[in-house]
Chains A and B, each alone.
Chain A
Amino acid sequence: MLEFFNDTQTIHFIIIVGSMSLFFIGFYGIATQKNLVKILVSFDIMESALFLFFIGLHYKVGLVAPILDKHLKTFTNMVDPVPQAMILTTIVIGLAVLALGLSFGIEYYKLTGRNDISKMNELRD
C-alpha cells in the first residue's frame, strides 16, 4: 500500500511541499509576530524547514545511511554525507543563536518588563 512512496520523485514532492509550507509558516511568523520569543521560535521553524528540505532532497530511494556495519563493507549506495554534516553544524549554530537570543530577551525583560520588539524604540535620536 505504501509502495506509492517508493519513488524518489514522490518523496521529494512531499518533502518540498512540507518543508516549504513550514518555511513560510515561519516567514509569516517573523513578519507578523512581535513577541521576541515567538520570533525566535519562528526563526527556528524556518531553520528546521530548511534542514528537512536539504536532507530530504538528498535522499533517494534505495540509499542507506553512510555507516558501515557487519553487513555493509563498502561505501556504496549510500546517501550523501556532506548535507548531514552541514545540517549538524547548522543545528548547533541555530541552537547557539537561539540560546543567545533568549538570554538577551530575558535580560531585557528583567530590565523593562517588555518583550514586544515593536516597542523597543529607546534607541533613537
Chain B
Amino acid sequence: MSLGYYFLLPVIFSFLTPYFKKIGLLRASSILLNLLLFLQTLVYTMMSLPQISLFSIKPPLGIAFILDGYSLLFLLIFTFSGLMVSLYMPWFFKANPRRDEARFYLFFNMLIAGSIGMILSCDIFNLYIFFEITGICSYTLSAYNKDKLGLESGIKYLIIGSIASIFIVFAIMLIYLQIGTVNLGLIAQRFHQIDPKISVLIVLMLFIGFGTKAELFPMNFWAPDIYQGSISPVNGLFSSVVAKAYLFVFFHLFYLFGLNSKYMLFVMVIGAITFLVSEFTALNQTNVKRLFAYSTLGQLGILFMAFSTNSIDTVSGALFHLTSHSISKLLIFLTLGILIHKLKSMKIDILGGFKSTFLTIVLVISFLSVLGIPPFSGFIGKILILKGFALSHNYAAVAFILLVSIVEAIYFFRIIAMMLDKSRAKVIVNVGVMNYAILAVLAALIVLFGIYPSLLLHYTDLAANALLHPTNYLTYALGVGL
C-alpha cells in the first residue's frame, strides 16, 4: 500500500501498453489496473487519515503524496469513474473499431493518473507536472477521432492549456522567488509574508490558470467545443474527472493559502455568472454533447459558488453535489455514447429517437438528480448548499440558484418529454450486458445516495473539514513528526 501506486502503476501500464496489445490483454489489463486502484482506494477509506507516501526525501524538502479527507472523496470518484469507463470501453471499441486502441488506453489511464496526481501531490511544482500530464492526455483524447472536429477541439484545448500553464508556471516561479519553496505546506505558512502586490499577482495568475481549466465563465468559451469534438466516454471523463480535478486544486490552494476571506465574493460572483450564462446557453442547443457540456459548466458554477462560502455545511453539500453530479454526468455521457453509435447522429433528437425502457429510466434518474429533485442524490447536495447559503443569510444566492435551476429544468424536461413522446420514430436500442450493468450501477448509486445520504455524507463531511481546516494536512505537508 502506497499512494505512489496511483501514479506509478498507470505509468508502468502505459509504458508497457504496446506489449499488452501484442499479447491481446489490453482491455483486460486496463480493467484490472483500474480495479486495483479502486480497491486500494476502498482500503484507504477504512484507514485513518491523513496518509502520506514519501518520495526520496521527506517534506517539506521533498515531494510527497498526501491523502486527507478532501482528496479521499475525489480519489473515490476518480478511481470509480476510471473503473466504469474502462469497463465500458470494450463495448465502445467493438462498436467503433479504431486502429489506435492501445494509445487510447494509454492516454485514458494517464488522464486518471494525472488527475489523481494533482489531488495527491503536496508540492505545487509537482502539481504542475501532473497538470501537464492531464493536459496532454486530454488534448490527445479530444483529438482522438482524428477528423476535422476532433483535431479542431484538440488544437483549441492545447492552446488554452498552454495559456493556463504559462500563467501557472509564472506563478510558481514568483512563489519560489518570494519564499524559496514549492511545498504547499510551507507556502501556506509563508504566503501572507509575500509582498502584497506580488501576492495579488500570484493569486491572479493561479486563478487564470486553474480557472481557465476549471471552465469558469469568461474563460470557458472553449469548453463546449472540446466536448463536441471528442468521443463520449472521454466527455464523461472530462465532466466527471478532469473538471473536478481542476476544481479540487482551485479550492485546495484557495483555502490553503488563506484566500477565502479576501476573494470569497469574487469567486462566488464568477461562479454565479458561470451558472447563469451556461444554463441559459444550454437552452438554445441542438447538439446533444454541447448541451450537456453547458449543463456541466452550469453545475461547476454552482459548485464554485458553494465551495467559496467558507462554511463546512455548505462545502459538504457542495461535495455531495459534486459527487452526484460526477456520477450523473458519467451516466449521461456513457449513455450518449450508446445512442450516438446506434442513431448515428449528435442532434438532440436522438434522445427522442430511441426505444429502450432501461435507458429511459437511467437517463431520467440522472436528469432528475442533476436538477436536484428527491429522492435522488442531487437533491441532498442542493438542499445542503441552499441551507448553507441561507444559514449565512445569503438569500440572494438561494434565490439565484433556484431561479436559474428553473431554466435548467426547461431543457432537461424538454428532453424527458422528447423521450416519452410516443409519436416520434423510435429505433430499438439494445444495451449490451456490460453496459447494462455499468449504467445500472451508476443509476443505483444515484438512488442509493439519495435515500441513504449518510453513506456519502460521512465522507463529504470529512472532506469539508479537511478542506476548511487543513491543519492535519499542513503538519503532514511540513513533514512534522515523520
Contact = CB atoms under 8 A, between A and B. Distances in A.
A–B touch (CB < 8 A): the answer is yes
Interface of A: 30, 36, 39-40, 43, 46-47, 50, 53-54, 57-58, 82-83, 86, 89-90, 93, 96-97, 100-101, 104-105, 107-108, 111-112, 117, 120, 122-125
Nearest to A46: B166
B162 interface: yes
Contact of A123 (B129, B136, B229, B284): B229
Contact of A101 (B155, B166, B286, B290): B155
B411 to A, nearest CB: 13
A15 B375 CA distance: 61
A54 B162 contact: no
A-B complex: 8 closest residue pairs judged by Cβ atoms: A123-B225, A108-B151, A54-B173, A43-B162, A120-B152, A123-B228, A104-B155, A104-B154
B421 interface: no
B158 interface: yes
B183 to A, nearest CB: 11
A9 to B, nearest CB: 15
Given A43-B162, A111-B147, A100 B136 contact: yes
B146 A107 contact: yes
B149 A123 contact: yes
A47 to B, nearest CB: 6
Given A57-B177, A96-B136, A97-B158, A123 B166 contact: no
A54 B177 contact: yes
- The secondary structure that dominates the A interface is helix
B148 A111 contact: yes
B153 interface: yes
Contact of B149 (A30, A46, A83, A122): A122
Given A97-B158, A101-B158, A125-B284, A86 B152 contact: no
Interface string B151-180: 111111011011101100110110011000
A123 B227 CA distance: 10
Given A86-B125, A96-B136, A123-B149, 13 more contacts: A43-B166, A46-B166, A47-B166, A97-B132, A101-B159, A104-B143, A111-B147, A117-B159, A120-B152, A120-B156, A123-B224, A123-B229, A125-B287
10 contacts: A36-B155, A57-B177, A58-B177, A86-B176, A100-B136, A101-B159, A108-B155, A123-B153, A123-B156, A125-B284
Interface residues of B, number: 41
Given A43-B162, A105-B155, A83 B176 contact: yes
A47 B163 CA distance: 10
Interface-central residue, B132, B139, B158, B287, by most chain A CB under 10 Å: B158
B311 interface: no
A104 B177 contact: no
Interface string B118-152: 00000001000100100110011001001111011
Given A100-B140, A107-B146, A108-B151, A30 B163 contact: yes
Interface-central residue, A50, A96, A104, by most chain B CB under 10 Å: A104
A83 to B, nearest CB: 7
B285 interface: yes
Contacts of B287: 125
Given A104-B154, A125-B285, A125-B286, A112 B148 contact: yes
B286 A97 contact: no
Contacts of B139: 97, 100, 104
Contacts of A111: 147-148, 151
Contacts of B151: 104, 107-108, 111
A22 B143 CA distance: 31
Contacts of A89: 125, 129
Interface string B400-419: 00000000000000000000
A117 B153 CA distance: 11
